[in-house]
Amino acid sequence: MIPGNWLQLLTCFILCLIVSHVALVSNSVSADEPALAAVKVLVAYHSLSGNTERMAEAVGEGAKSLPGTTVVLKRVGQVTADDLFSSDAIVIGSPVYWSNMSGEVKTFFDNWQFKFGVFPEFKMKNKIGAAFATGGQVSSGKEVTMLTILAAMLGNQMIVVSGGGAFGASATTEGDSPGVDKKELADAQALGRRVAEVAAMLRSPPAN
Ligand SMILES: Cc1cc2nc3c(=O)[nH]c(=O)nc-3n(C[C@H](O)[C@H](O)[C@H](O)COP(=O)(O)O)c2cc1C
Protein backbone atom coordinates (compact mmCIF):
# COMPACT_ATOMS: atom_id res chain seq x y z
CA MET A 1 0.00 0.00 0.00
CA ILE A 2 1.51 3.44 -1.09
CA PRO A 3 0.81 6.34 1.33
CA GLY A 4 -1.31 9.23 -0.10
CA ASN A 5 1.46 11.88 -0.33
CA TRP A 6 3.81 9.41 -2.09
CA LEU A 7 1.02 8.60 -4.57
CA GLN A 8 0.61 12.34 -5.26
CA LEU A 9 4.37 12.73 -5.80
CA LEU A 10 4.49 9.74 -8.17
CA THR A 11 1.52 11.05 -10.19
CA CYS A 12 3.17 14.46 -10.41
CA PHE A 13 6.47 12.91 -11.59
CA ILE A 14 4.75 10.85 -14.32
CA LEU A 15 2.79 13.92 -15.50
CA CYS A 16 6.02 15.96 -15.72
CA LEU A 17 7.65 13.21 -17.80
CA ILE A 18 4.71 13.18 -20.24
CA VAL A 19 4.64 16.99 -20.57
CA SER A 20 8.41 17.28 -21.21
CA HIS A 21 8.27 14.48 -23.79
CA VAL A 22 5.43 16.19 -25.68
CA ALA A 23 7.32 19.52 -25.55
CA LEU A 24 10.48 17.91 -26.91
CA VAL A 25 8.68 16.22 -29.80
CA SER A 26 6.69 19.33 -30.76
CA ASN A 27 9.84 21.49 -30.62
CA SER A 28 11.90 19.28 -32.89
CA VAL A 29 9.31 18.71 -35.61
CA SER A 30 6.59 21.28 -36.12
CA ALA A 31 3.90 20.61 -38.73
CA ASP A 32 4.16 24.22 -40.03
CA GLU A 33 7.93 24.43 -40.08
CA PRO A 34 9.73 21.27 -41.17
CA ALA A 35 13.37 21.11 -39.99
CA LEU A 36 15.68 22.39 -42.75
CA ALA A 37 19.27 21.31 -43.34
CA ALA A 38 22.02 23.75 -42.32
CA VAL A 39 23.71 25.11 -45.45
CA LYS A 40 26.82 27.09 -46.40
CA VAL A 41 26.48 30.09 -48.72
CA LEU A 42 29.49 31.67 -50.44
CA VAL A 43 29.05 35.33 -51.41
CA ALA A 44 31.81 36.32 -53.85
CA TYR A 45 32.16 39.78 -55.38
CA HIS A 46 34.37 42.33 -57.11
CA SER A 47 34.20 45.95 -56.00
CA LEU A 48 36.53 48.92 -56.51
CA SER A 49 34.59 51.78 -54.94
CA GLY A 50 32.53 49.79 -52.39
CA ASN A 51 29.03 49.70 -53.93
CA THR A 52 29.02 46.02 -54.85
CA GLU A 53 30.67 45.23 -51.53
CA ARG A 54 27.76 46.85 -49.65
CA MET A 55 25.30 44.75 -51.64
CA ALA A 56 27.42 41.63 -50.93
CA GLU A 57 27.25 42.30 -47.18
CA ALA A 58 23.46 42.65 -47.39
CA VAL A 59 23.19 39.38 -49.36
CA GLY A 60 25.21 37.73 -46.58
CA GLU A 61 22.93 39.21 -43.87
CA GLY A 62 19.86 37.90 -45.68
CA ALA A 63 21.34 34.40 -45.99
CA LYS A 64 22.35 34.40 -42.30
CA SER A 65 18.79 35.28 -41.29
CA LEU A 66 17.88 31.65 -42.03
CA PRO A 67 18.87 29.84 -38.82
CA GLY A 68 21.75 27.40 -39.25
CA THR A 69 23.16 29.07 -42.38
CA THR A 70 26.92 29.71 -42.57
CA VAL A 71 28.02 32.58 -44.81
CA VAL A 72 31.49 33.09 -46.30
CA LEU A 73 31.97 36.57 -47.81
CA LYS A 74 34.99 36.99 -50.09
CA ARG A 75 36.38 38.98 -52.99
CA VAL A 76 36.44 36.80 -56.11
CA GLY A 77 40.25 36.75 -56.20
CA GLN A 78 40.42 35.28 -52.68
CA VAL A 79 38.05 32.37 -53.20
CA THR A 80 39.77 28.98 -52.69
CA ALA A 81 38.87 25.57 -54.11
CA ASP A 82 37.57 24.60 -50.66
CA ASP A 83 35.33 27.71 -50.49
CA LEU A 84 33.87 26.79 -53.85
CA PHE A 85 33.38 23.06 -53.42
CA SER A 86 32.24 23.06 -49.78
CA SER A 87 29.45 25.60 -50.43
CA ASP A 88 25.86 24.58 -51.08
CA ALA A 89 25.12 27.91 -52.78
CA ILE A 90 27.17 30.65 -54.46
CA VAL A 91 25.99 34.22 -54.97
CA ILE A 92 28.21 36.31 -57.23
CA GLY A 93 28.17 40.09 -57.50
CA SER A 94 29.78 42.39 -60.07
CA PRO A 95 29.89 46.07 -60.92
CA VAL A 96 28.68 46.72 -64.48
CA TYR A 97 31.68 47.33 -66.74
CA TRP A 98 30.73 48.23 -70.31
CA SER A 99 27.27 46.69 -69.95
CA ASN A 100 28.57 43.37 -68.68
CA MET A 101 30.28 41.70 -65.71
CA SER A 102 33.71 43.11 -64.85
CA GLY A 103 36.86 41.41 -66.10
CA GLU A 104 37.70 40.25 -62.56
CA VAL A 105 34.43 38.37 -62.25
CA LYS A 106 34.85 36.83 -65.71
CA THR A 107 38.41 35.79 -64.78
CA PHE A 108 37.00 34.23 -61.60
CA PHE A 109 34.65 32.11 -63.69
CA ASP A 110 37.48 31.17 -66.09
CA ASN A 111 39.54 30.12 -63.05
CA TRP A 112 36.87 27.63 -62.07
CA GLN A 113 38.51 25.61 -64.85
CA PHE A 114 42.11 26.90 -64.90
CA LYS A 115 42.61 26.72 -61.10
CA PHE A 116 39.86 24.45 -59.81
CA GLY A 117 39.26 22.04 -62.73
CA VAL A 118 35.47 21.89 -62.60
CA PHE A 119 35.15 20.25 -66.06
CA PRO A 120 34.57 17.52 -67.29
CA GLU A 121 33.13 16.22 -63.97
CA PHE A 122 30.86 19.27 -63.55
CA LYS A 123 32.00 19.70 -59.95
CA MET A 124 29.59 22.61 -59.39
CA LYS A 125 26.59 20.58 -60.54
CA ASN A 126 23.39 21.06 -58.49
CA LYS A 127 24.75 23.84 -56.30
CA ILE A 128 22.42 26.81 -56.03
CA GLY A 129 23.59 29.96 -57.86
CA ALA A 130 22.43 33.58 -57.92
CA ALA A 131 23.65 37.02 -59.03
CA PHE A 132 23.70 40.67 -58.02
CA ALA A 133 25.07 43.80 -59.68
CA THR A 134 25.61 47.51 -59.27
CA GLY A 135 25.78 49.94 -62.16
CA GLY A 136 26.26 53.68 -62.45
CA GLN A 137 23.27 54.28 -64.74
CA VAL A 138 19.63 53.19 -64.47
CA SER A 139 19.56 51.22 -67.70
CA SER A 140 23.09 50.43 -68.83
CA GLY A 141 23.74 46.76 -68.23
CA LYS A 142 22.77 45.57 -64.73
CA GLU A 143 20.40 42.92 -66.05
CA VAL A 144 22.85 41.77 -68.74
CA THR A 145 25.51 41.52 -66.02
CA MET A 146 23.29 39.34 -63.82
CA LEU A 147 22.17 37.21 -66.77
CA THR A 148 25.74 36.56 -67.94
CA ILE A 149 26.67 35.51 -64.38
CA LEU A 150 23.66 33.17 -64.35
CA ALA A 151 24.61 31.89 -67.84
CA ALA A 152 28.07 30.88 -66.58
CA MET A 153 26.39 29.08 -63.67
CA LEU A 154 23.95 27.30 -65.99
CA GLY A 155 26.91 26.18 -68.10
CA ASN A 156 28.22 24.54 -64.93
CA GLN A 157 24.88 22.71 -64.41
CA MET A 158 24.09 24.77 -61.32
CA ILE A 159 20.51 25.51 -60.25
CA VAL A 160 19.99 29.26 -60.59
CA VAL A 161 17.47 31.25 -58.56
CA SER A 162 16.42 34.90 -58.48
CA GLY A 163 15.30 37.13 -55.63
CA GLY A 164 15.16 40.84 -54.92
CA GLY A 165 14.48 41.42 -58.64
CA ALA A 166 13.63 39.29 -61.67
CA PHE A 167 17.23 38.19 -62.26
CA GLY A 168 18.75 38.98 -58.86
CA ALA A 169 19.35 42.09 -56.77
CA SER A 170 20.78 45.30 -58.23
CA ALA A 171 21.54 48.90 -57.36
CA THR A 172 22.08 52.13 -59.30
CA THR A 173 24.99 54.13 -57.93
CA GLU A 174 25.76 57.26 -59.97
CA GLY A 175 24.15 60.35 -61.53
CA ASP A 176 20.88 61.35 -59.81
CA SER A 177 21.02 58.22 -57.62
CA PRO A 178 21.96 58.74 -53.96
CA GLY A 179 24.04 55.53 -54.24
CA VAL A 180 23.07 52.13 -52.88
CA ASP A 181 19.85 52.85 -50.98
CA LYS A 182 17.75 51.07 -48.34
CA LYS A 183 15.39 49.47 -50.85
CA GLU A 184 18.30 48.08 -52.87
CA LEU A 185 19.92 46.71 -49.70
CA ALA A 186 16.58 45.12 -48.74
CA ASP A 187 16.46 43.49 -52.20
CA ALA A 188 19.96 42.13 -51.64
CA GLN A 189 18.89 40.73 -48.26
CA ALA A 190 15.82 39.13 -49.87
CA LEU A 191 18.08 37.49 -52.47
CA GLY A 192 20.39 36.10 -49.77
CA ARG A 193 17.48 34.77 -47.74
CA ARG A 194 15.91 33.06 -50.77
CA VAL A 195 19.20 31.47 -51.82
CA ALA A 196 19.66 30.04 -48.31
CA GLU A 197 16.06 28.79 -48.21
CA VAL A 198 16.23 27.07 -51.61
CA ALA A 199 19.63 25.51 -50.78
CA ALA A 200 18.28 24.27 -47.43
CA MET A 201 15.16 22.82 -49.09
CA LEU A 202 17.31 21.02 -51.66
CA ARG A 203 19.62 19.56 -49.00
CA SER A 204 16.81 18.57 -46.57
CA PRO A 205 15.34 15.07 -46.57
CA PRO A 206 11.89 14.98 -48.20
CA ALA A 207 8.91 15.40 -45.82
CA ASN A 208 6.91 12.22 -45.16
C1 LIG B 1 35.49 50.58 -66.56
C2 LIG B 1 34.09 50.92 -66.08
C3 LIG B 1 33.02 50.69 -66.90
C4 LIG B 1 31.75 50.96 -66.46
N5 LIG B 1 30.70 50.70 -67.29
C6 LIG B 1 29.43 50.90 -66.85
C7 LIG B 1 28.32 50.59 -67.71
O8 LIG B 1 28.46 50.12 -68.83
N9 LIG B 1 27.07 50.79 -67.21
C10 LIG B 1 26.84 51.30 -65.96
O11 LIG B 1 25.69 51.44 -65.56
N12 LIG B 1 27.88 51.62 -65.14
C13 LIG B 1 29.17 51.42 -65.54
N14 LIG B 1 30.22 51.72 -64.71
C15 LIG B 1 29.95 52.22 -63.35
C16 LIG B 1 30.03 51.11 -62.29
O17 LIG B 1 29.31 49.98 -62.68
C18 LIG B 1 29.42 51.58 -60.97
O19 LIG B 1 30.06 52.74 -60.51
C20 LIG B 1 29.49 50.49 -59.91
O21 LIG B 1 28.55 50.75 -58.90
C22 LIG B 1 30.88 50.38 -59.30
O23 LIG B 1 30.86 49.34 -58.35
P24 LIG B 1 31.89 49.28 -57.14
O25 LIG B 1 31.68 50.49 -56.27
O26 LIG B 1 31.53 48.02 -56.42
O27 LIG B 1 33.28 49.23 -57.72
C28 LIG B 1 31.52 51.49 -65.16
C29 LIG B 1 32.63 51.73 -64.33
C30 LIG B 1 33.90 51.45 -64.79
C31 LIG B 1 35.08 51.72 -63.88
Q: Under DSSP, is residue 70 helix (H, G, I), strand (E, B) or coil?
A: strand
Q: What residue spans of 36-120 are helical by DSSP H? A: 51-64, 81-86, 103-114
User: Which structural domain, as residue segments, surrounds residue 99?
Assistant: 40-203
Query: What are φ and ψ of residue 48, in 5° steps?
Result: -95, -45
Check if the beta carbon of residue 91 is closer than 8 Å to that of residue 132.
Answer: yes
pLDDT > 90: percent of the chain:
80
In a domain, 8, yes or no: no
Name the least confident of 23-27, 117-121, 141-145, 192-196.
23-27
Q: State the pLDDT at residue 12.
A: 54
* Ligand 1 centroid – CA 83 distance (Å): 27
CATH of the domain at 60: 3.40.50.360
pLDDT at 166 over 70: yes
Q: State the pLDDT at residue 86.
A: 98
Q: State the pLDDT at residue 205.
A: 84
Using pLDDT thresholds of 50, 70 and 90, give the confidence band for residue 9. Answer: low
Of all protein residues, the one whose alpha carbon is nearest to atom 8 of ligand 1 is 98
- Give kind and range of the element (H or E) at residue 199: helix 182-203
In a domain, 115, yes or no: yes
pLDDT at 19 over 60: no
Q: State the pLDDT at residue 2.
A: 55
Q: State the pLDDT at residue 192.
A: 98
- Average pLDDT for 140-161: 98
Q: State the pLDDT at residue 40.
A: 98
Quote the number of domains for the chain: 1
Task: Indicate which atom in ligand 1 lies nearest the CA of residue 141.
Answer: 9
Compute the distance between CA of residue 154 and CA of residue 164 in angstroms, rounded to an integer: 20
In a domain, 10, yes or no: no
In a domain, 1, yes or no: no
How do residues 99-133 score in pLDDT, each as one tens digit?
A: 999 999 999 999 999 999 999 999 999 999 999 99
* Alpha carbons within 13 A on the beta-carbon side of 90: 31
- Average pLDDT for 180-188: 98
Using pLDDT thresholds of 50, 70 and 90, give the confidence band for residue 152. Answer: very high
In this structure, the residues whose C-beta lies within 6 A of any atom of ligand 1 are 47-53, 95-99, 134-137, 140-141, 173-174
Q: State the pLDDT at residue 58.
A: 99
Of residues 131 and 15, more confidence is placed in: 131
In a domain, 30, yes or no: no
* Ligand 1 centroid – CA 113 distance (Å): 26
Q: List the one residue out of 13, 10, 15 whose CA is nearest residue 2.
A: 10
pLDDT at 172 over 60: yes
Check if the beta carbon of residue 128 is closer than 8 Å to that of residue 161.
Answer: yes
Check if the beta carbon of residue 12 is closer than 8 Å to that of residue 59.
Answer: no
Q: State the pLDDT at residue 17.
A: 59
- Average pLDDT for 130-154: 98
In a domain, 144, yes or no: yes
* Ligand 1 centroid – CA 138 distance (Å): 11
